[in-house]
């Protein structure tokens, strides 16, 4: 957890996990034998079936959030409840659940903690690998739409629509009756179009291409790319407060935008699982690997070339 090492902070039987022993590059990652964490108040201990891989994992390894190594990576998991902390209401030992890890660390392990208030029961129709992909990426997408609160018929620009957050955002926005224009590399255009978005190529001239794709203008921008790309597309907004960037928060603020406020609740996760079970949301898990391949899985995400969500199958 931020401010202290996550390996060995609680006693118990030893389980296998994957994390990092120093901050910095991937050369500091390794497999760890760690004590099983005891669930504190409001926490659940899971036997992990699957865990999501996210950009936040390599950023954590590089020193984000002040986490002190050695630490176990992993922000979201699905699994079976094996123990409950005080106050973890609504759950029982043996329940199949999914959720976010306390302080967004510790999920790449045979057993891991989740926060009960950011956990939900996994429907039988939703595979563990799909459920493990929901709390971070799809949860961010859901919260983005709640924050922007656009009326049906409005146009949303997703800057960087072809990734783990962008693809569920396109789907969820279309389900709310929004028109979605999404910037992405050419290799993601067919995928974005398949989910109902209007793909537009990155790079020089992007603003002109966006004006053609959205001749009536855009009411909001959700940015997943940052940098000069964000600066360019922000010019399309009449109201800069309709800009939210999670890729370049400082620049987003400079341009007049605002922060994303995350919900991280059981209610949101339950709704996302319902949408997946009904076929209304595809978390687009395209790469499932065993825990033994954790280094390679994280390398794919860190490269920025993942074609969808990457998930580790653990139990």
CATH of the domain at 288: 3.90.180.10
Exposure letters 133-153 (e unless 16+ CB within 10 A, then b): bbbbbbbbbbbbbebbebeee
Q: How much is the average pLDDT of 182-209?
A: 95
Co-location of 88 and 141 in the same domain: no
Tokens of 186: 């050419």
Residue 68 pLDDT more than 80? yes
Say how far apart CA 239 and CA 105 lie, in whole Å. Answer: 36
Domain that holds residue 303: 14-133+283-313
Confidence of residue 315 (pLDDT cuts 50, 70, 90): confident
Co-location of 116 and 185 in the same domain: no
Confidence of residue 305 (pLDDT cuts 50, 70, 90): confident
Number of domains composing the chain: 2
Residue 1 pLDDT more than 70? no
Please report the pLDDT score of residue 3 as a whole number: 36
Q: What percent of the chain has pLDDT over 90?
A: 90
- Phi/psi for 173 (5° steps) reads -70, -40
Whether residue 281 contacts residue 138, with contact meaning beta carbons closer than 8 Å, is answered with: yes
Co-location of 97 and 157 in the same domain: no
**Burial (CB count <10 Å: 0-12, 13-18, 19+), residue 203:** exposed
Please report the pLDDT score of residue 12 as a whole number: 53
Sign of the torsion angle spanned by Cα atoms 55, 61, 62, 68: positive
Q: Nearest Cα to 83, choosing from 120, 127, 131, 116?
A: 116
Residue 9 pLDDT more than 80? no
Say how far apart CA 226 and CA 250 lie, in whole Å. Answer: 10
Residue 260 lies in a domain: no
Please report the pLDDT score of residue 66 as a whole number: 82
Question: Higher confidence at residue 315 or residue 205?
Answer: 205
């Amino acid at each position: 957890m931020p401010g202290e090492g996550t390996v060995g902070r609680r006693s118990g039987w030893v389980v296998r996990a994957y994390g990092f022993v120093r901050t910095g590059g991937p050369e500091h990652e390794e497999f760890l034998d760690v004590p099983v964490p005891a669930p504190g108040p409001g926490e659940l201990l899971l036997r992990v079936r699957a865990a999501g891989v996210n950009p936040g994992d390599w950023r954590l390894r590089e020193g984000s959030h002040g986490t002190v190594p050695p630490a176990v990576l992993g922000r979201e998991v699905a699994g079976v409840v094996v123990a409950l902390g005080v106050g973890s209401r609504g759950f029982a030992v043996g329940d199949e659940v999914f959720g976010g890890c306390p302080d967004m660390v510790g999920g790449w392990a045979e057993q891991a903690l989740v926060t009960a208030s950011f956990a939900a029961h996994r429907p039988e129709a939703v595979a563990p690998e799909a459920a493990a992909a929901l709390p971070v990426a799809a949860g961010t997408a859901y919260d983005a739409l709640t924050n922007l609160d656009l009326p049906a018929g409005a146009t949303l620009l997703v800057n960087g629509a072809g990734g783990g957050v962008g693809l569920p955002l396109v789907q969820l926005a279309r389900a709310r009756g929004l028109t979605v224009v999404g910037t992405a590399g050419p290799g993601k255009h067919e995928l974005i179009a398949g989910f109902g978005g209007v793909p537009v190529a990155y790079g020089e001239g992007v603003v002109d291409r966006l004006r053609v794709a959205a001749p009536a203008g855009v009411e909001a921008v959700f940015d997943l790319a940052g940098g000069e790309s964000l600066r360019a597309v922000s010019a399309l907004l009449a109201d800069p407060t309709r800009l939210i960037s999670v890729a370049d928060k400082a620049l987003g603020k400079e341009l007049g935008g605002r922060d994303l406020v995350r919900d991280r609740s059981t209610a949101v996760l339950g709704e996302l699982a319902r949408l997946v079970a009904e076929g209304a949301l595809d978390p687009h898990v395209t790469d499932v690997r065993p825990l033994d391949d954790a280094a390679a899985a994280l390398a794919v995400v860190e490269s920025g070339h993942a074609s969808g969500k990457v998930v580790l199958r653990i139990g």
